[in-house]
Amino acid sequence: MVMLTRRLLFPTLATCLVACATPAKPNLASASEVRTAVPAVTRASLPVLSMTQHYGYVINAPLESPVVFALFDDGTFVWSVGDVRNGRYFRTTVAPADVAQLVTTLEPSWAALTPQQRYSWGPDSGYRSFALRTSGGTFTLGSWHSDDPNSANVADQRGMFPRSGRSDAELELKWSDDYRALRTAWRAALTAVEPFKQAPAEPLDRYPPELKWVENSAR
C-alpha cells in the first residue's frame, strides 16, 4: 500500500446553490455571534486536511463515507456537529496564514510515521481516516478508536474492548510506541482545527457539495 502520493484527483462536480427562506440556525460553537454567509468552495480549491467516516461491513450501514470535516486551501472550513448522518454542517472561512501554519505544524510528524504507525482497525470494522495534503505529498491515518473520553468501548493496538471505568490516562499506559505515534498525530490534527469551529459560521441545510470531492477521493 502506498502511503504517500503526489497528488489527489477529484471528479468534476457542479455546485448548485439554493436560496433558503428560513432563518439561519445559530452555530452551536458560538451562538452569540452574528453569522455571515460564506460562498461555497470553488472547483479550484483542494482539501488540505480532512476526516472521513467509513462504516465498514455491517448490517444497514450507509453506502456513503461522509466527511466529518474538511479544510480547503482557499480557507474554506466545513464541519459537522454531532453524528455526521444527521446533516448538521457548518461552513466558515479560515485565514490563509492559519491554513499554512496548520500544514507547517502537522507535516513533519505525519511524514515521519512508518506504515505500521498510520493505521489501526479490525477486519470489516468501521473507522475514521485523516488525509493531510501538502506540497510534499498526501499523508493518511486511519483508526477505529473513539475520541470520546466517556466512550463505552476503547481501542488500541491489541483491539477493541470495554472501557470498564478506566480513564484515557490509564489506558495509554498499555499503548505500544507505534500506536502512541498514531494517536499523537491524530490528536494534533483535532487540536489544530478546533479553533476554526469557534469562528462565525454559516449553518447548512444539506450535506455540503464540496465534501463530495473529499468523500469520493477517500473511497
Mean pLDDT, consecutive 10-residue stretches, the chain (219 aa), reads 38 34 36 40 75 77 77 94 79 96 96 94 88 93 92 90 92 94 96 95 87 69
Percent of the chain with pLDDT over 90: 53
Cβ proximity of 44 and 58 under 8 Å:
no
Question: How buried is residue 174: exposed, middle or buried, by Cβ count under 10 Å (0-12/13-18/19+)?
Answer: exposed
C-alpha–C-alpha distance, residues 1 and 178, integer Å: 18
Contact in structure between 77 and 93 (CB atoms under 8 Å)? yes
Which residue, chain included where needed, has cell 463530495? 212
C-alpha dihedral, 118 to 121 to 122 to 126, nearest 10°: -140
Domains in the chain, CATH or no CATH each: 41-150+177-214 (3.30.1560)
With contact defined as beta carbons under 8 Å apart, do 139 and 132 qualify? yes
CA proximity to 53, closest of 80, 72, 28, 29: 80
- Alpha-carbon radius of gyration of the chain: 18
Predicted local distance difference test score (pLDDT) of residue 27: 36
In this structure, how many other beta carbons lie within 10 angstroms of the beta carbon of residue 96?
A: 11
Going 163 to 165 to 167 to 173, the CA torsion angle's sign is: negative
Helices (H), 66-202: 96-111, 168-172, 177-193
How is residue 76 written as a grid cell? 474554506
- Share in percent of the chain as helix, strand, coil (round to 5): 25, 25, 50
Quote the strand ranges of the chain, DSSP E: 4-5, 47-54, 67-72, 76-80, 89-93, 119-120, 127-134, 137-143, 153-156, 159-162, 202-204
Q: Residue 14 has what pLDDT?
A: 36
Per-residue confidence (pLDDT) for residue 31, from 0 to 100: 31
Task: Count other Cβ atoms within 10 Å, centred on residue 118.
Answer: 21
Task: Output the pLDDT for position 210.
Answer: 81
The pTM assigned to this predicted structure is: 0.75
